[in-house]
Amino acid sequence: MRVLALLALFVPSLASAAVPARLAASGALRNSTGAGVDGTYSITFALYATEAGPAAIFEEKHPNVVVSTGAFAVTLGETTALDADAAADAADLWLGVRVEGEPELPRQRLASVVWALGARRAYDLACTSCVTPEALSTAYAPLAEANTFAALQTFASGADFQAKEALLFRFQNAAAQPKPCDATTIGLAYFDTDKDRLQICGSKGWTAYMPIQPGSQFNPGLSCLDIHTNDPTLPSGSYWIQAGTLLKFMVHCDMTTDGGGWTEINLATARNVLGATMTAVIPAPISGIDAAHRPFTQDQDGGHSYRYDIPIPFGFHEFYLSKYQIRANAAPGAYTSDLDPAYPMTDWGTDFASCYGDVGFGTPSAVGPTTSLAANLSSAQTCATCDIDWPAGTKTYSVGAAVSTTFRIGWGESCGEWEGWYPWWSGSIFVR
């Protein structure tokens, strides 16, 4: 047993003014062959401030995690208190996972959780009219005037902040506390150049405050490319996006391949979030979408042709396939599904030729697919229920200069056998 991927780690929506110190985690358990498993497992989760350090900020064991086709979901912090302050103070957070007493798997860096936990503190500042205009006017009057301050100032009253604006304001920069935080310095603030955060002295000591990171729950991006454009330093990981009329949801962003900014679309996201639809051009007697969101077809003594269209509301003009597999779906007996590089799909109206099938990828705005399975094979393949790895690896493809808002998978088969395909058995589609 091994965990191949933790699909998401996110902070729940706020139910009140205070951010809950809990994290909802979901992921996938797969065996040594890469197949999702079923059953109940004991899983221990731990959070660390470093990738390799021994001391955990948080650790919690979940003895009865239900896993269905590999998928599981838990809430961290239900039985063991999660110290949000300690987590927010960490420069980074790393998640460690142990399954059924096995050694801990390689830790995964959590790109946005620290920022979200930091918001727990920011929400403590929420108030209405807690700082009056009179207080600002009295204390910081000269800020509304042009000035050439060269030393500490004693401000006078009389500023009109509605009529005049303070054009620039800069906090003191320091790598360490410029003064002790005590009852005499409450309210003092400086920019911590060591931690790259604003520090404010309060009744509990110095507290760090941070801007809301692009792609966090509180600042979702339009897409992974939008997040990458706003902060090119962010690593690959799970981020929040919200595009068009969609609710906020989490995706994996590839921030490294060919410049970064790729949004992952997996089977569940395509169907449940984006609303992918399957359409028959030439119907087959057997067709549908299974419980794992995989479209499938199988004909009987005739040809068939289908489309699986995935709306991409944020648009794309490039894509690549990652760990992508296609499964033949012939009936038991002497039947087979067949591919031949001599007969690739060339337009969306022809998914089969000369008793061979194919699976193509692209956009419906083009005449035909950008690429196809048969076009990337070196020789013909014939099998009944085999899994075929995408032969081109993570090669990137352009669908043209114009931005497309639908990704299409097209497939079909023909001739007298009972044959067909799962055109998307496993893996992901990345779009940009």
* Tokens standing for residue 41: 């497992």
- What are 344-369's pLDDT values in tens digits? 999 998 777 788 999 999 999 999 99
Instruction: Give the whole-angstrom CA distance, residue 259 versus residue 224.
Output: 12
Tokens at 257, concatenated: 């391949």
Q: For 86-96, what is the mean pLDDT?
A: 76
Q: Where are the domains of the chain?
A: 2-123, 129-169, 174-211, 224-265, 268-431
CA-to-CA dists, residue 267 to 35, 129, 291, 293, angstroms: 15, 48, 11, 6
| pLDDT reported for residue 309 | 98
DSSP 87-125: HHHSS-EEEEEEETTPPPPPPEEESSHHHHHHHHHHHTT
Residue 81 clears pLDDT 90, i.e. is over it: no
pTM of the complete model: 0.61
Q: What is the pLDDT of residues 169-199, one digit of tens each?
A: 788 999 999 999 999 999 999 999 988 889 9
Report the distance separating Cα 113 and Cα 20, nearest Å: 12
Read off the DSSP letter of residue 247. Answer: P
Angle of CA points 346, 350, 352, to nearest 5°: 100
Q: Are strands 421-431 and 262-265 parallel, antiparallel or unpaired?
A: antiparallel
Three-class SS state of 349: coil
pLDDT for 166 beyond 70: no
268-431, which class in CATH? mainly beta
- CA end-to-end span of the chain, whole Å? 33
Euclidean distance between CA atoms 390 and 380, whole angstroms:
14
258 beta partners: none
| Mean pLDDT of the region 226-249 | 91
Question: In whole angstroms, what is the distance from residue 30 CA to residue 105 CA?
Answer: 13
Instruction: Give the β-pairing of 173-174 and 189-192.
Output: parallel
Rounded average pLDDT over 137-165: 54
More confident residue, 13 or 38: 38
Architecture, CATH, for domain 2-123: Sandwich (2.60)
